[in-house]
Structure 1
Amino acid sequence: MGFKSFLLKPFAKKIARDIDRWSADGVGAQRKVFQQLLARGQHTRFGRDHQLKAGMPYEAFRDQVPVRDYEALKPYVERIKQGEKDVLWPGLPKYFAKTSGTTSGVKYIPLTKDSMPNHFGSARNALFNYYARTGNGRFLDGKMIFLSGSPELEEVGGIPTGRLSGIVNHEVPGWLRTNQLPSYKTNCIEEWEEKLERIIDETMQADMRLISGIPPWVQMYYERLLERTGKRTVKEVFPNYSMFVYGGVNFEPYRAALENLVGERIDSVETYPASEGFIAFQDSQTEPGLLLNADSGIFFEFIPLEDIHSDHPRRLWLDEVEVGVNYVLIINNNAGLWGYNIGDTVQFVSKDPYRLVVSGRVKHYISAFGEHVIGKEVEEAMNAAAARHQVRVVEYTVAPQVSPPEGGTPYHEWFVEFQEAPDDLEQFAADLDREMVQQNIYYQDLIDGNILRPLKIQVMQKDAFRNYMKTQGKLGGQNKVPRLSNDRKIADLLSPWKA
């Protein structure tokens, strides 16, 4: 045990005890957070507009605060950008997290002094909780790499503004900063391929213990690292590497390839961060799902997915959710987001404690024929088919083919880049389709009724998806390929890289 891990062990144990305490009563924690938000929010412009009062019941709040997306919240954000205080939350935000929206253009998500512990503190708690549960704190005694966006910030209405992953770099405490790589200068490089080379320059001789990032971009780092060093596995380069931290996408499609590059399976911790708040984190190495962050400044609401486009959708709080139901996630937080739809869908896998999995994005689905296929379903189908055929899949996306150029019945078209292609592609496609039928009853009905024919697979060239992301200016960082589209936009843009 190194000096730093020894020093921090009591703190890690305290954090684990705190997590045990509030996760044992998630409903009680949420009730407390709800009242704290009301007490602070009642004197803001938003609070006055919506008659927020400390102590008001949830039912009254639900009636007075509608569900909003960014476009509906934007008038309040514009007032903040013009320098007005006490609009969504007391005072002014500490930062704006800048994200890109499909309909709203650039979005400016407020981060406040009160909400920053949710973002950074939750990530820290996830790691220290892992240390307390497993006894493995070796990652604290060496270098850590966080593959993130640029930390360079601009001023918007006098408020520092940038990508969340870059903002977090400004909040790293001194005790961790000495462990952190890459350097600030390298992190500021915008062009991913150049940045990747500089990251390798800085890390290839370092005692790397922890690596964090989105799996497809970590895979690029591993591959280039091995090319540059001439080693066979990442563990040969970094013998003390013992912790992988990830979020943003399902790890399972990448697990086999990443473990093959590392040379062995190492422990991992999954997180669920978003610009709007740190939603959940993996609290156990044995139990499925991510622990809902119920005691960290966010009051969560849940709308059954089938209700989301209703004029009067059912809005539930934590005490009313059920296991196995797809819910659209709504948040109210101490940065002043109220009734805010972040666009994700989740499913609870446990209520004691409240653990969930991310099942998809509201806008990432296929329902061109009424099938309502979501991300979780295609991922589970692909994982099962790939395991059965013992093949490795690098990346994939799915789109409807409503008017097949060859004529005939419509189908779902899967664009798949294999690392190791199946020996019998037709049988693989048939098994994948069989898995989809088991995942989605509506899809089954359409197949049985000959409204859809079985899916087709379009095999893609090596690096097809990386090349596509590069053309979209989304190579690296926190960007990821959508698993599903309800139109052919991505499918058409992928055409140059068909095998």
Structure 2
Amino acid sequence: MKFKSLLAKPFASIIANKVKKEMMRAAEDQEAILQDLLKTGKKTEFGKAHHFDTINSYDSYKQAVPIRDYEQFRPWIDKIKEGRHNILWKGLPMYFAKTSGTTSGVKYIPISKESIDHHFNTSRNAVFCNVVETGDATAFDGKLIFLSGSPELERIAGIPTGRLSGIANHQIPRYLRTNQLPTYETNCIDDWETKLGKIVDETINQDMRLISGIPPWMQMYFDELTARSGKPVGELFPNFNLLVHGGVNFEPYRAKLMDSIGRKVTTIETFPASEGFFAFQDTQQQEGLLLNTNAGIFFEFVPAAEIFSPNPTRISLKDVETDVNYAMVVSTNAGLWAYNIGDTVKFVSRNPYRILVTGRTKHFISAFGEHVIGEEVEQSLMGVAGRHNIRITEFTVAPKVQVNGELPYHEWFVEFEEAPGNLEGFAQEVDQVMQQKNIYYNDLLTGNILQTLKIRPVRKNGFIDYMKSIGKLGGQNKVPRLSNDRTIADELGKYLEGR
């Protein structure tokens, strides 16, 4: 055993024990965090406007602070961008995380000196929990790669600003710097395809042991490694044993990634966002991600169907139920208050509190009142594909409302590694599962409002070419699973098989 892995084990044990203690007092920690946030927040312009000094309970907090999305927060953010202090949190943010919103254009999410450590430490906690569970710390003896955005930062009102993954790159501790690839210069390349080529140049002959990133971009990395070497990734990197992923649901990508590796490796799922690091996989033995309940974030949960209602039901952690689809709302030690992050989750356990990410509040199909969510389409497609041993590269779904002479339908754009021999039969199976998962969808079909779904095969690398065409190839960008309009679907029509 080498020096770093030898040192990692006792430190991992300390961290894992801390995680276990915190999971047992999660509800109590949440109550304390809200009080601590309000204590600091009452001195801010936002806190004064919302009478934080009179809030003495969660119920009074709900009365004083309505749920907001980014557009409703923008006036406060704009004041910070003008260089004004003590607006949402004390002083100025340490960073702005710059992210693309689906409806708000570019968003600037504040990260404070109080919140920044949690963005790295939670990833560390996930890895160290795995070290304790498996007894294997050898990932620290070789090279690590974090497929991320550029670490180059601009300044807005003196505040360093950039992509979250680039900001996180600046927080990697010194003891890992010598293990980290690619080089800073390569990480700063903006064009993803050029950057990918350089990453492969720098890593193909290295002892890679831990690989981290968003699944579709890890797949592109693996494809390029195999194209260059003629070997599966697991043979090229014989000591590679840990894959850390986040950003999108892993299941649609799992089979192809494992096939590219050529053998089984341990995978760890994380749930990071610019607004905070919300959850992580603390064990391979239980379903779900452990909610990060002692990291300066106060969580609220709203039944997903109510999130856009004028007066939605809001509950704190202690009152959640399992198997209910909730929109997640956060107040943070970076100055977000009752902020709708746009993600939906459901709890699979309350002791400890573990969640599954089920979709996005704005990524759904309800053109006819069916309110289909991401979890339903992913499970339907991947379940049928698994039964037939069919590999899916990427997919998205949109409604086809205006149809000449026939009923409307849901249109599924699917890039297969190898298309099924009977595509129509495959589509019918997927549709049957969808009807079982969503009663409203079933009602629309039996009521002759909709016809069964149609699958449009997308040509090889069609999704990559589409993302490239809109300037969103690589980094933290991802294709939405669902759209309630035709913006993505109409563009993808240019990338179908035979076009």
Matched, 1:303 2:302: yes
Could you tell me whether the CA contact under 8 Å between 1:111 and 1:335 is conserved in 2?
yes
Structure 1, unmatched stretches of 5+, are: none
Could you tell me whether the CA contact under 8 Å between 1:38 and 1:54 is conserved in 2?
no
* 1:114 aligned residue: 114
CA distance in 2, matches of 1:469, 1:92: 35
CA distance in 1, matches of 2:328, 2:195: 34
Give secondary structure in 1 for the equivalent of 2:378: helix
The amino acid that maps onto 2:220 is M
Counterparts of 1:235-254 in structure 2, within 5 Å, are 235-254=234-253
TM-score of the aligned structures, taking structure 1 as reference length: 0.98
* 2:479 aligned residue: 481
CA distance in 1, matches of 2:416, 2:167: 35
Cα deviations by residue, 1:38-78 (Å, 9 ceiling, x for unpaired): 11111111111111138710000110011111111112112
Between 1:85-94 and 1:96-105, the stretch displaced more is 96-105
Matched, 1:234 2:233: yes
Question: Which of 406, 424, 433 in structure 2 is aligned with 1:408?
Answer: 406
CA distance in 1, matches of 2:138, 2:443: 52
* 1:443 aligned residue: 441
Between 1:331-340 and 1:43-52, the stretch displaced more is 43-52
The amino acid that maps onto 1:312 is N
* 1:196 aligned residue: 196
Could you tell me whether the CA contact under 8 Å between 2:96 and 2:110 is conserved in 1?
yes
CA distance in 1, matches of 2:201, 2:70: 40
Q: Report the CA distance between 1:428 and its aligned residue.
A: 0.5
Q: Report the CA distance between 1:31 and its aligned residue.
A: 1.1
* 2:462 aligned residue: 464
Give secondary structure in 2 for the equivalent of 1:348: strand
Could you tell me whether the CA contact under 8 Å between 2:149 and 2:475 is conserved in 1?
yes
CA distance in 2, matches of 1:103, 1:480: 15
* 2:382 aligned residue: 383
Between 1:302-311 and 1:326-335, the stretch displaced more is 302-311
* 1:355 aligned residue: 354
Cα deviations by residue, 1:450-490 (Å, 9 ceiling, x for unpaired): 11111111111111100000001111111111110101111
- Structure 1 residues 268, 54: closer, same or farther in 2, change over 3 A? farther
- Structure 1 residues 258, 103: closer, same or farther in 2, change over 3 A? closer
The amino acid that maps onto 1:189 is I
Give secondary structure in 2 for the equivalent of 1:265: coil
- Structure 1 residues 92, 54: closer, same or farther in 2, change over 3 A? farther
Could you tell me whether the CA contact under 8 Å between 2:325 and 2:344 is conserved in 1?
yes
Matched, 1:68 2:68: yes
* 2:426 aligned residue: 428
Could you tell me whether the CA contact under 8 Å between 1:42 and 1:54 is conserved in 2?
no
Matched, 1:145 2:135: no
Counterparts of 1:189-338 in structure 2, within 5 Å, are 189-231=189-231, 233-338=232-337
* 1:59 aligned residue: 59
Cα deviations by residue, 1:110-162 (Å, 9 ceiling, x for unpaired): 00000011211111111111111111111111100000000000010110000
Q: Report the CA distance between 1:102 and its aligned residue.
A: 3.3
Matched, 1:33 2:33: yes
The amino acid that maps onto 1:109 is I
Counterparts of 1:93-172 in structure 2, within 5 Å, are 93-172=93-172
Could you tell me whether the CA contact under 8 Å between 2:55 and 2:61 is conserved in 1?
no
- Structure 1 residues 11, 453: closer, same or farther in 2, change over 3 A? same
Give secondary structure in 2 for the equivalent of 1:366: coil
Q: Report the CA distance between 1:222 and its aligned residue.
A: 0.5
CA distance in 2, matches of 1:53, 1:239: 58
Cα deviations by residue, 1:354-404 (Å, 9 ceiling, x for unpaired): 000111011110000100000000000011110122111111110101112
Matched, 1:498 2:474: no
Between 1:126-135 and 1:143-152, the stretch displaced more is 126-135
CA distance in 1, matches of 2:140, 2:412: 42
Give secondary structure in 2 for the equivalent of 1:373: coil
Between 1:40-49 and 1:184-193, the stretch displaced more is 40-49
RMSD: 1.0
TM-score of the aligned structures, taking structure 2 as reference length: 0.98
Q: Report the CA distance between 1:86 and its aligned residue.
A: 1.3
CA distance in 2, matches of 1:141, 1:113: 30
Could you tell me whether the CA contact under 8 Å between 1:12 and 1:131 is conserved in 2?
yes
CA distance in 1, matches of 2:365, 2:39: 41
CA distance in 2, matches of 1:209, 1:252: 22
Give secondary structure in 2 for the equivalent of 1:302: strand
Give secondary structure in 2 for the equivalent of 1:466: helix
Cα deviations by residue, 1:11-32 (Å, 9 ceiling, x for unpaired): 1001111111010121112112
Q: Report the CA distance between 1:425 and its aligned residue.
A: 1.1
The amino acid that maps onto 2:185 is K
Could you tell me whether the CA contact under 8 Å between 2:88 and 2:336 is conserved in 1?
yes
Q: Report the CA distance between 1:200 and its aligned residue.
A: 0.4
Between 1:128-137 and 1:157-166, the stretch displaced more is 128-137
CA distance in 1, matches of 2:465, 2:198: 20
CA distance in 2, matches of 1:78, 1:55: 26
* 2:45 aligned residue: 45
The amino acid that maps onto 2:460 is K
Could you tell me whether the CA contact under 8 Å between 1:39 and 1:54 is conserved in 2?
no
Could you tell me whether the CA contact under 8 Å between 1:35 and 1:54 is conserved in 2?
no
* 1:178 aligned residue: 178
Give secondary structure in 2 for the equivalent of 1:12: helix
CA distance in 2, matches of 1:486, 1:169: 35
Cα deviations by residue, 1:326-360 (Å, 9 ceiling, x for unpaired): 11110000000001011111111110110001110
Between 1:85-94 and 1:184-193, the stretch displaced more is 85-94
Q: Report the CA distance between 1:103 and its aligned residue.
A: 3.2
Could you tell me whether the CA contact under 8 Å between 2:322 and 2:348 is conserved in 1?
yes
Could you tell me whether the CA contact under 8 Å between 1:366 and 1:372 is conserved in 2?
yes
CA distance in 1, matches of 2:434, 2:270: 27
CA distance in 1, matches of 2:106, 2:395: 27
Q: How many aligned residue pairs are there? A: 497
CA distance in 1, matches of 2:438, 2:362: 18
Give secondary structure in 1 for the equivalent of 2:344: strand
CA distance in 2, matches of 1:391, 1:93: 47
CA distance in 2, matches of 1:469, 1:102: 14
The amino acid that maps onto 2:451 is R
Structure 2, unmatched stretches of 5+, are: none
CA distance in 1, matches of 2:200, 2:348: 39
Q: Report the CA distance between 1:194 and its aligned residue.
A: 0.3
Could you tell me whether the CA contact under 8 Å between 1:147 and 1:213 is conserved in 2?
yes
Q: Report the CA distance between 1:303 and its aligned residue.
A: 0.8
